[in-house]
A and B are shown apart, each in its own frame.
Chain A
Amino acid sequence: MSTAKSRTGSRRQFLVDSARLACGVSLFGLGMGFYARHAKALPPAAIRPPGALPESDFSAACIRCGLCVRDCPYDILHLAKPEEPMSTGTPYFVARQAPCEMCEDIPCVKACPTGALDHGLTDINKSKMGVAVLVDHETCLNYLGLRCDICYRVCPVIDKAITLDPQSNERTGRHTLFIPVVHSDHCTGCGKCEKACPTEVASIKVFPRYMAKGQLSEHYRLGWVEKEKAGSSLVAPDVEHKYNMPEGMKYEFDKGLSKVPPAEPSGAVPGMPKALQGDKL
């Protein structure tokens, strides 16, 4: 009987020990899981090296060996330290400190043993490290009417990733603003624009793509694109638009406002609204 008792005793002890072990390990696992999920999001200032897989795959593929860091000839890459708010040990750079120099042979990608940096990337101009965003119109010198143009000039994909789009300067009424516009299909996210931006805090910044990009709903179609594809309008046929103009005036879509031919010689019309006194008049 005593052996039976001790047997149930030891069985109980076994169950208690097992439960304790299971609880402890589960708690540990839960903590690790939450931490892992939390660390999956990339902070906005941290940009991955070229060819990096999307963040969700990257944190599974990168084994944190640092070979990309070693093979970067400009030493721009760092491995995240434990206290930094991202996956510990994974590589990143901060554009404002040192942007990607866009090596043509992309040594960081070649060094990666796992494919966390995709070896399929052979043209650095096709890399998608992030997207530059002109975050602050209020401090951008070009927006203020100056011809700073630095972000445009330093861009390795000049005239494709950043263009300067003219707008009239409403403040002076007679100048042109050259607005830097980023085109995300060409922007590599190298961060040279952010590094070079002369304002105290950069007015143009590079963000991870997931932060910088919006996305249209899937059912959205761009009418003019569809029309071009189909060769004709897919909805009701276009109707000729008719304008109701004051007597003696006419308006054409591509020419603007004009006087009906038999009229006095052209020039600024004293009584016209300011908005209508453009080049097109």
Chain B
Amino acid sequence: MSSSELRPGAEAVLEKGWLGAHKWLLMRRSSQIGILLLFLVGPWFGWWIVKGNLAYSYTLGVLPLTDPYVLLQSLVAGQVPHKVAFIGVAIVIGFYLLFGGRSFCAWVCPVNLVTDLAGWLRARLGIKGGPHVSRSVRYWILAATFVVGALTGTIAWEMLNPVSMLHRGLIFGMGLAWAVVLAIFLFDLFVMRNGWCGHFCPVGAFYSLIGKLSLTRIRLPNRDACNDCMDCFAVCPEQQVIRPALKAINGTGPVILESNCTNCGRCIDVCSKDVFRFGLRAGGNDSNLGGVAGATPK
């Protein structure tokens, strides 16, 4: 196909215009940078809208938000936090149950800005290949963080976690945290495509567990219109999540239920045939467009 000569999404740009083909990407970047700025305007200008960091934050003196992964590590290490931390966790888990577990990765996490840049550069420079590592490694690492935390009685992972290191570093002072971030950037650029976020990061793995139940999903009401241009595969950071829903493998319904979908919405942007859109896990409202007889989304 001629489209294979073009960059992924080029057809969508022709079809929908540049803005239409970058809508979700732009919204996502605004969200990532906006959230970061909310944390930064305090230390920068003394406008204390949000205090703290992604582990725990306190907004306008009323809203506590706690990272459930950190809190669980603390519990496993043998400490029971205050009620306010649990309220924060309930709010955060509730939010991600509504909007998709790993939407944390795509819409909030500051490391995603780094790894996306590495991925973009990798594609631009035409760097290919790299070791094959199972995407389930992250779950083993996730388990290891709990085991080590329990054995040492510390929140061991938080001493190494590049996600909190970068976010905390930007707000409270980087120190050598930039070296860790650079290492991840170089790893994703030269060694493995989507290496960190797509294979190793236990934070993403944890949020994907919430994502198993979350409400907001990518739906494919138009999947029959797919012309196999492969642009969605090319841009998707978790390529394995698309195929079952797109190709109705084993009668999968037109919705991406894979918990590792980050709800980044890039597939919506780059698809010139408008196959994808955001919807609900059990949204029956697109059955008139599905056209896959007998496909019953659970």
Contacts and interface: CB of A to CB of B under 8 A. Distances in A.
21 contacts: A17-B134, A28-B141, A35-B160, A36-B149, A36-B152, A36-B159, A61-B79, A63-B70, A64-B55, A65-B57, A66-B168, A66-B172, A78-B173, A81-B169, A81-B174, A82-B179, A83-B175, A84-B175, A113-B64, A113-B66, A114-B56
Contact of A60 (B88, B155, B180): B155
A28 B144 contact: yes
A60 B153 contact: yes
B168 A114 contact: no
Contacts of A60: 74, 77-79, 149, 153-155
Interface string A35-69: 11101100000000000000011011111111101
Residues of B contacting A: mostly? helix
Contact of B154 (A21, A59, A66, A84): A59
A54 to B, nearest CB: 11
Nearest to B64: A113
A57 B78 CA distance: 8
Given A56-B153, A84-B175, A89-B159, A79 B168 contact: yes
Interface of B: 42, 48, 51-53, 55-58, 64, 66-67, 70-71, 74, 77-82, 84-85, 88, 134, 137, 140-141, 143-145, 147-149, 151-160, 164-165, 168-169, 171-177, 179-180
Nearest to A60: B77
A32 B160 contact: yes
Contacts of A65: 52-53, 55-57
A15 interface: no
B187 to A, nearest CB: 14
Nearest to A29: B144
Contact of A82 (B55, B66, B147, B177): B177
Given A33-B151, A79-B168, A70 B156 contact: no
Given A25-B137, A59-B155, A87-B154, A81 B82 contact: no
Contact of B52 (A22, A33, A70, A82): A70
A45 to B, nearest CB: 16
B159 A88 contact: yes
A81 B82 CA distance: 25
A98 to B, nearest CB: 15
B72 to A, nearest CB: 11
A119 interface: yes
Nearest to B174: A81
Of A24, A29, A64, most buried by chain B (CB within 10 Å of CB) is A64
B57 A115 contact: no
B82 A115 contact: yes
B180 to A, nearest CB: 7
Nearest to A53: B79
Interface size class of A (residues with CB under 8 A): 35 or more
A81 B175 contact: yes
A116 B167 CA distance: 21
Contacts of B52: 65-67, 70
Contacts of B140: 21-22, 25
Of A28, A59, A82, A119, most buried by chain B (CB within 10 Å of CB) is A82
A146 B270 CA distance: 80
Contact of B168 (A25, A33, A64, A67): A64
Nearest to B144: A29
A52 to B, nearest CB: 13
Contact of A114 (B57, B79, B144): B79
**Shortest 10 CB-CB contacts between residues of A and residues of B:** A81-B175, A60-B77, A65-B56, A36-B156, A114-B81, A61-B79, A29-B144, A83-B176, A59-B154, A25-B140
A79 B147 CA distance: 25
Given A57-B78, A61-B74, A63-B74, 5 more contacts: A32-B159, A63-B155, A70-B42, A83-B175, A113-B88
Contact of B175 (A61, A62, A82): A82
B176 A81 contact: yes
B56 A63 contact: yes
A214 B8 CA distance: 68
